[in-house]
Amino acid sequence: MKLLSMCTLAKWHIWLGWLVGVPIVMWLATGLFMVARPIDEVRGNHLRIESEAIPLKMPGSSLATEEANLREMRIVMQGGRAVAVLTDMDGIVTRVDVATGAAIPPLDAAAARALVAAQIVGGDKAERVTLFPADRTPFDFRRPIAVWQVQLADGTNVYVGQGTGEIEAVRTRWWRAFDLAWGLHIMDLSEREDTSHPVLIAFAALSLTGALIGCVLMFRRPRPSPARRRPW
């Protein structure tokens, strides 16, 4: 009975091998293809000719002046009023009331907490609000702008731009677990962004080789063990 059960399992294993072998080979082959080149080269970023950044200037504008040295200007609605979000050539973000031209001060902790409470489900249950400068942002944010980190009771981190006055990112516990899984998947736990490096390419190639060998071996009919051969 035990031998029959093991034989049955062996047959099932072979049939399952045929069933999943093709998609496994396909996943590994396409995965090896995708990691073979850096993503920037795939996107064609290496073909772009770098040019010197030119400050934004608009004739007749009181905001986009030569003295402002702006890189970008956005007009958004915040709190029922039109607000210009200005980013200068050094990456510093400020806000200006479009109607009056008055500068809007950076968000404080109370304003960041109120914004999260108004725009995030469960945002009224904030447990801690912490300011992070642009050069020391948390690992689950990874963007060089000053932000308030609003920690909610369910473990969610909401990041509010101190200069933009906007919610820049929401990081749930699931997001952080996904981010860790992604880092393990691409074998880059330090930055979790490099999808093409020698270690990943080597293991992808070895995995594909092993899967191909396994598919070839499925054509070979297994021989009975000596213990099961009948004496003649």
CA dist list (Å): 18 to 4, 9, 14, 15, 223: 21, 14, 6, 5, 19
Predicted local distance difference test score (pLDDT) of residue 217: 79
Q: How much is the pLDDT for 2?
A: 53
Q: Could you tell me which residue, 84 or 226, shows the higher pLDDT?
A: 84
Please tell me the predicted confidence (pLDDT) of residue 231.
52
CA distance 41 to 50: 15
pLDDT at residue 226, rounded to an integer: 57
Mean pLDDT confidence for 193-203: 93
Query: pLDDT band at 35, cuts 50/70/90?
Result: very high
Whole-model pTM: value is 0.82
Task: Give the residue-averaged pLDDT of 121-125.
Answer: 95
Q: Is the pLDDT of residue 200 over 90?
A: yes
* pLDDT of 222 over the 60 cut: no
pLDDT in tens, 138-175: 999 999 999 999 999 999 999 999 999 999 999 999 99
* Mean pLDDT, the chain, whole residue set: 89
Report the percentage of the chain scoring pLDDT > 70: 93
Please choose, from the candidates 10, 37, 20, 7, the residue with its C-alpha nearest in 3D space to the C-alpha of residue 214: 20
Burial of 84 (0-12, 13-18, 19+ CB in 10 A): buried
